[in-house]
Amino acid sequence: PAAWAELSRTFGRLPLSETLEPAIRYAEEGYPVSPTAAGNWNSAFRRYSTALTGTEFKPWFDLFAPNGRAPEAGEVWRSPDHANTLRLIGSSEAEEFYRGVLADTISECILRSGGFLTKEDLAGYRPEWVEPISVSYRGYDVWEIPPNGQGLIALIALNMLKGYPVSSQESPEAYHRQIEAMKLAFADGSRYITDPSRMSCDPYAFLTEEYAEQRRRLIGSEALWPEAGEPRGSGTVYLATADGEGNMVSFIQSNYTGFGSGLVVPGTGISLQNRGLEFSLDDTHANRLEPGKRTYHTIIPGFLTKNSQAIGAFGVMGGYMQPQGHVQVAMNLIDYGLHPQAALDAPRWQWVKGKTVMVEPHFPMHMARRLERMGHEVQVAADFSSFGRGQIIWRDEKTGVLCGGSDARTDGFVAGW
């Protein structure tokens, strides 16, 4: 909420209270649950029903499953508590969330549930403006948020891949190089990415031409076995917007793993996030648990510019799939010149761990077999749920016309007016 208020003050033309009105109206009057959301909602219901016990999780069921089940697709769901909370946030420019009665309610809930976040912690928070990081890729600049986000991983991979000539989209060697570059980038990211004030090296040290060439030399004709963490799920929302004046926004936020921690603050509609999941209890790990520290996190909005002009806002939700999706979508746009919708619809691969690569059901099987002969352990997924969900807005460099794409793997859409 502090980020909403900060963005509204800096770039907005309307007060935050007015921009939140449509969301408040949906919360009060109800919103028909979309199909993908309904499926994920039901998965969370089953998980919480079997894995979580104790009265501290009763507010989640009261709010999100009031009829003893998750809502079905097309069913109208209402949450007056959400509406009241959004009104408080809007009228106070988010102050209520951090230094008001709402903050007291949040901290009391956390302490009652055995957590450690106090109202002093909330009161001490301020949103932070950061300098994005980028690499030049075939005439475009690809931008990401710096650590502690994993956008650095996408840039490391692209920096390696730009050293190869553009090859056919149907080339198994091209897929192989993309997968290997992503594995090497994840190995770096899992070891070094943490709170930027506690990183042992400068993020830009990973983005030099010398380092890219050093890592590129490790990519041979067979699959590698790098060390890196195993991907997890997500609970992320991404949106992109642009206007006729040249403004573009690439925005992302997340509760992580669906509904976050499963802890709901009674009477507020707030489901508390669990972004602390990436902390480690290993004292030698870069993300060891420490006071006031921000751990590695997966949420990364992406952006493209050319000659310092905004060209495209893009993003792919989905935990550790995000940098993999960024690389694949960026290459589809830049290397292959695909329409934004086609760039999102193209079949995706996902490195999982070791030599294991998962591919979507519509991924070309002859390509999968070629990858297997290169040493990859290819698994065909039963559905699309783990391959990310993305959106793109692309500005035509000659005409200035805006063109959008929304991933068929989720419930999003493109709207223009």
Tens of pLDDT along 245-296?
889 999 999 888 888 888 999 999 999 998 888 899 999 999 999 988 888 8
Count of residues in the chain: 417
Tokens of 23: 């969301």
> Is 371 or 229 the better-scoring residue by pLDDT?
371
Instruction: Tell me what percent of the residues of the chain surpass a pLDDT of 70.
Output: 97
Tens of pLDDT along 135-149?
999 999 999 999 999
Q: How far apart are CA 125 and CA 130, in angstroms?
A: 15
Tokens of 224: 């590698």
Tens of pLDDT along 145-173?
999 999 999 999 999 999 999 988 789 99
Tokens of 123: 């009161």
First to last CA, the chain: 27
| Confidence (pTM) | 0.89
Confidence grade of residue 184 (pLDDT, cut at 50, 70, 90): very high
Tens of pLDDT along 5-64?
999 999 999 999 999 999 999 999 999 999 989 998 999 999 888 865 667 788 999 999
**Span 396-416, average pLDDT:** 91
Q: How far apart are CA 276 and CA 98, in angstroms?
A: 19
Residue 153 · residue 187 · CB < 8 Å: no
Confidence grade of residue 82 (pLDDT, cut at 50, 70, 90): very high
Residue 229 predicted with pLDDT over 90: no
Which residues, 6 or more positions from 125, have their beta carbon under 8 angstroms from its beta carbon? 2, 98
Catalytic residues: 236
pLDDT of residue 102: 96
The domains found in the chain, sorted by start residue, are 2-127 (no CATH), 133-234+297-406 (1.10.246.130)
- For 157, 340, 379, the CA distances from 364, given in Å and listed in that order, are 23, 21, 12
Kindly report the number of other CB atoms within 10 A of residue 23's CB atom: 14
Structure letter (DSSP) for residue 387? S
Tens of pLDDT along 85-126?
999 999 999 999 999 999 999 999 999 988 888 999 999 999
